[in-house]
């Protein structure tokens, strides 16, 4: 409700100027914002097209709800199962896979579950559960939490915070969840981009990486104007076209932190 009100206020305040300059609202994930990617991409998009972008950085689940209500024009999210359901339900009219990165499991330096360098995320979570080692989940219906829950399903059982005292849910962003893992001396699943940008690591390190289960695909979608006529189709599609153009894809590839490329463009023209 609050976020919808924010969009309403923004729209109302800009209504009298909407004809003076074009703008779109984009609901995206906290990972694209906290990794620094969008702060890197959006100024170039605006400079190239003259279109301003108003961003809501939330978990994928919340972003999809914003799109379902028609409170944004474009979504940039990372949970293919729910994205495809969004499209099948008629909430989206265009979907393009645009880039990927990966998840990693981070945990304490002393690694109480003894999972360091296993390269097997499912086996790692099984050991964490067996050791009742502290694990911190986002618990916010984000794309990251969805990936985590898929891994627990492969383990064979999903922990419950009310029952399993070693399992914590923050209900918050990736950065805040990492901060909680630091304070709790626990493990967590995070996208690599947010991890690289996260500065207060203290006792945490990457303990599991380079497992195909940890692949993390992002897609961009246009909210369906047939369902929500207020959607800015032309400017929304301009953003989608730019992200999937050679310029946009090269710009994604060029984003690096400490010399490390964080996102890998993979749009394939049909």
Give per-residue pLDDT as tens, 15-50.
444 456 799 999 999 899 989 999 999 999 999 999
In this predicted model, what pLDDT tens digit does every residue of 237-246 receive, in sequence order?
A: 999 999 999 9
pLDDT at 3: 40
Sign of CA dihedral 81, 86, 87, 92: negative
Residue 15 backbone zone (phi > 0: left; psi -120 to 50: alpha; other: beta): alpha
Closest CA to 89 of 184, 183, 222, 227: 227
Res. 270 pLDDT band, cuts 50 70 90: confident
Q: What DSSP state is assigned to residue 187?
A: B
Helix axes 246-254, 233-243, angle to 10 degrees: 60
Rg (CA), the chain: 19
Task: Please check the confidence at residue 176 and state whether its pLDDT lies above 50.
Answer: yes
Average pLDDT rounded to a whole number, residues 187-216:
94
Q: pLDDT grade, residue 12 (50/70/90)?
A: very low
| 2-100+215-265 CATH | 3.40.190.10
Measured CA to CA, the distance from residue 95 to residue 224 in angstroms comes to 10
Q: Across residues 205-227, what is the average pLDDT?
A: 97
Query: Would you state the structure tokens that stand for residue 36, as one six-digit string?
Result: 């620094």
Per DSSP bridges, beta strands 92-108 and 264-265 are: antiparallel
Asked if residue 185 has pLDDT above 70, the reply is yes
- The answer to whether 83 touches 221, Cβ cutoff 8 Å, is yes
Q: What is the pLDDT of residue 19?
A: 54
Q: Which of 26-30, 117-121, 122-126, 142-146 has the lowest mean pLDDT?
A: 117-121
What three-state secondary structure class fits 264?
strand
Among candidate residues 117, 126, 137, 262, the one with its CA nearest the CA of residue 193 = 262
Is there a contact between 89 and 95 (Cβ–Cβ < 8 Å)?
A: no
The reply to whether 102-214 shares the fold of 2-100+215-265 is yes
| Mean pLDDT across the chain | 91
Pick from 58, 90, 98: which is nearest to 227 by CA? 90
- CATH architecture for residues 102-214: 3-Layer(aba) Sandwich (3.40)
Sequence spans of domains, the chain: 2-100+215-265, 102-214
For the chain, the residue count is 270
In the prediction, which pLDDT does 134 show? 97
């Amino acid at each position: 409700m609050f976020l919808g009100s924010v969009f309403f206020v923004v729209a109302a305040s800009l209504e009298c100027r909407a004809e003076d300059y074009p703008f779109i609202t984009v609901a995206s994930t906290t990972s694209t914002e906290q990794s620094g990617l969008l702060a890197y991409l959006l100024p170039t998009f605006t400079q190239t097209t003259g279109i301003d972008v108003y961003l809501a950085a939330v978990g994928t689940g919340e972003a999809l709800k914003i799109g379902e209500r028609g409170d944004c024009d474009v979504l940039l999210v990372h949970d293919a199962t729910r994205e495809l359901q969004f499209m099948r339900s008629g909430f989206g009219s265009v979907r393009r896979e645009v880039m990927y990165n990966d998840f990693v499991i981070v945990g304490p330096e002393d690694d109480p579950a003894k999972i360091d360098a296993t390269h097997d995320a499912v086996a790692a979570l099984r050991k964490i559960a067996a050791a009742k080692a502290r694990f911190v989940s986002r618990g916010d219906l984000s794309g990251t939490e969805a990936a985590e829950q898929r891994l627990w399903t492969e383990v064979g059982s999903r922990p419950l915070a009310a029952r399993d005292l070693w399992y914590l849910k923050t209900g918050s962003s990736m950065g805040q969840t990492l901060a909680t893992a630091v304070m709790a001396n626990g493990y967590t699943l995070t996208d690599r981009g947010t991890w690289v940008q996260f500065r207060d690591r203290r006792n945490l390190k990457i303990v599991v990486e380079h497992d195909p289960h940890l692949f993390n695909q992002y897609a961009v979608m246009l909210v369906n104007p047939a369902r929500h006529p207020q959607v800015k189709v032309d400017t929304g599609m301009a953003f989608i076209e730019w992200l999937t153009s050679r310029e946009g894809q090269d710009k994604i590839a060029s984003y690096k932190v400490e010399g490390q490329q964080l996102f890998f463009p993979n749009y394939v023209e049909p």
